[in-house]
Structure 1
Amino acid sequence: MSLINVSNLTFAYEGSYDNIFENVNFQIDTDWKLGFTGRNGRGKTTFLGLLLGKHEYSGKISAQVHFEYFPYFVENKGENTLDIIHEMLPDRLHWEVVRELSLLQVAEDVLYRPFDTLSNGEQTKVLLAALFLKENAFLLIDEPTNHLDSHARKLVSEYLNSKSGYILVSHDRAFLDHCVDHILSINKTNIEIQKGTFSDWWENKERQDHFELAENEKLRKDIKRLSDAAKQTSNWSHEVEKTKNGTRNSGSKVDKGYIGHKAAKMMKRSKGIEQRQHSAMDEKSKLLKNVETTESLKMAQLRYHRSQLVELEHVSIFYGDKKVCSDISFTIEQGDRIALAGKNGAGKSSLLKLICGEEITYTGTFRKGSQLKISYVSQDTSHLQGDLSDYARIHGIDESLFKAILRKLDFARVQFEKDISSFSGGQKKKVLLAKSLSEKAHLHIWDEPLNFIDVISRMQIEELLLEHESTILFVEHDREFCTNMATKIIEL
Structure 2
Amino acid sequence: MANIVNLDRVAKQYASGVLLDDVSLGLDDSDRVGVVGLNGAGKSTLLRLITGAEEPDSGRLTRRRGLAVGSLPQQVDLPPTATVRDVVVGDAWLPALGADTEHGPAEHVWAGDAAVRAVLRGLGMPGLGLDTETGPLSGGEKRRVALAALLIRPADLLILDEPTNHLDIAGVSWLAAWLTREHRGALAVVTHDRWFLDAVCTTTWEVADGTVRSYEGGYAAWTLARAERVRRETVTEARRQNLLRKELAWLQRGAPARTSKPKFRIDAANALIADVPQPRDGVSLHRLATARLGKQVYDLENVTVAHGDRGILADATFRVGPGDRIALVGANGTGKTTLLRLLTEQLTPDTGTVRVGQTVRAGYLSQQLSELPTDARVLEAIEQVARRVRLGDRELTAAQLAELFGFGESRLWSVVADLSGGERRRLQLLRLLAGEPNVLLLDEPTNDLDTDTLAELEDLLDSWPGTLIVASHDRYLVERVCDTVFALLGDGAVTHLPGGIDQYLTLLPEPGDGDQTPVTAAPATTPERTGPSAAQVRAGKKELARLERLVARLETKESDLHTQLAEHATDYAKVTELDAQLAQLRSERAAAEEEWLTLAASLD
Whether TM exceeds 0.5 here: the answer is yes
Which residue identity is paired with 1:148?
L
CA contact (8 A) 2:444 2:471 kept: yes
Which residue identity is paired with 1:288?
T
Which residue identity is paired with 1:35?
G
Q: What aligned pairs does 1:261-340 form with structure 2 within 5 A after superposition?
A: 287-288=235-236, 292=240, 304-340=292-328
* Alpha-carbon distance, 1:95 to partner: 2.9
* Alpha-carbon distance, 1:127 to partner: 2.3
Which residue identity is paired with 1:27?
G
Q: Distance in 2 between matches of 1:136 and 1:150?
A: 26
Q: Say how many residue pairs are matched.
A: 416
2:84 corresponds to 1:81: yes
Equivalence for 1:20: 19
C-alpha spacing 1:421/1:28, structure 2 compared with 1 (3 Å) = farther
CA contact (8 A) 2:382 2:434 kept: no
Q: Distance in 1 between matches of 2:75 and 2:158?
A: 11
Secondary structure of 2:351 counterpart: strand
Q: Please list the CA deviations of residues 335-371 of structure 1 after superposition, one character each: whole Å capped at 9, or x if unmatched.
A: 1111111111101011112222324553211111336
* Alpha-carbon distance, 1:118 to partner: 6.7
* Alpha-carbon distance, 1:208 to partner: 2.5
69, 72, 76: which is aligned to 2:72? 69
CA contact (8 A) 1:146 1:452 kept: no
450, 472, 476: which is aligned to 1:476? 472
CA contact (8 A) 2:289 2:465 kept: no
196, 200, 208: which is aligned to 2:217? 196
Equivalence for 2:424: 428
Secondary structure of 1:376 counterpart: strand
2:366 corresponds to 1:378: yes
Equivalence for 2:341: 353
Moved more, 402-411 or 93-102: 93-102
C-alpha spacing 1:7/1:304, structure 2 compared with 1 (3 Å) = same
Q: Please list the CA deviations of residues 360-409 of structure 1 after superposition, one character each: whole Å capped at 9, or x if unmatched.
A: 55321111133632111122347753421342244456597343233223
Equivalence for 1:127: 146
Q: Structure 2 unaligned segments of length 5 or more: list them.
A: 95-104, 247-287, 390-395, 489-604
Equivalence for 1:146: 165
The share of aligned pairs that are identical, in percent, is 24
Q: What aligned pairs does 1:159-198 form with structure 2 within 5 A after superposition?
A: 159-161=178-180, 162-163=182-183, 164-188=185-209, 190-198=211-219
CA contact (8 A) 1:315 1:327 kept: yes
Q: Distance in 1 between matches of 2:46 and 2:408?
A: 20
Q: Structure 1 unaligned segments of length 5 or more: list them.
A: 217-286
Q: Distance in 1 between matches of 2:483 and 2:352?
A: 25
* Alpha-carbon distance, 1:168 to partner: 1.0
C-alpha spacing 1:132/1:103, structure 2 compared with 1 (3 Å) = closer
Equivalence for 1:406: 402
Moved more, 94-103 or 145-154: 94-103
Q: Distance in 2 between matches of 1:302 and 1:56?
A: 58
C-alpha spacing 1:450/1:171, structure 2 compared with 1 (3 Å) = same
CA contact (8 A) 1:445 1:472 kept: yes
Equivalence for 1:441: 437
CA contact (8 A) 1:101 1:126 kept: no
C-alpha spacing 1:344/1:181, structure 2 compared with 1 (3 Å) = same
Equivalence for 2:229: 208
* Alpha-carbon distance, 1:109 to partner: 6.1
Q: Please list the CA deviations of residues 54-78 of structure 1 after superposition, one character each: whole Å capped at 9, or x if unmatched.
A: 5773333332445623456243457
109, 112, 117: which is aligned to 2:131? 112
Which residue identity is paired with 1:99?
A
Q: Please list the CA deviations of residues 95-130 of structure 1 after superposition, one character each: whole Å capped at 9, or x if unmatched.
A: 356435535644596323344777887655532231
Q: Please list the CA deviations of residues 235-288 of structure 1 after superposition, one character each: whole Å capped at 9, or x if unmatched.
A: xxxxxxxxxxxxxxxxxxxxxxxxxxxxxxxxxxxxxxxxxxxxxxxxxxxx53
Q: Distance in 2 between matches of 1:20 and 1:302?
A: 48
Q: Please list the CA deviations of residues 211-235 of structure 1 after superposition, one character each: whole Å capped at 9, or x if unmatched.
A: 33xxx3xxxxxxxxxxxxxxxxxxx
TM-score of the pair, normalised by structure 2: 0.61
* Alpha-carbon distance, 1:142 to partner: 1.6
Structure with bigger gyration radius: 1
115, 126, 146: which is aligned to 1:99? 115
Equivalence for 1:48: 47
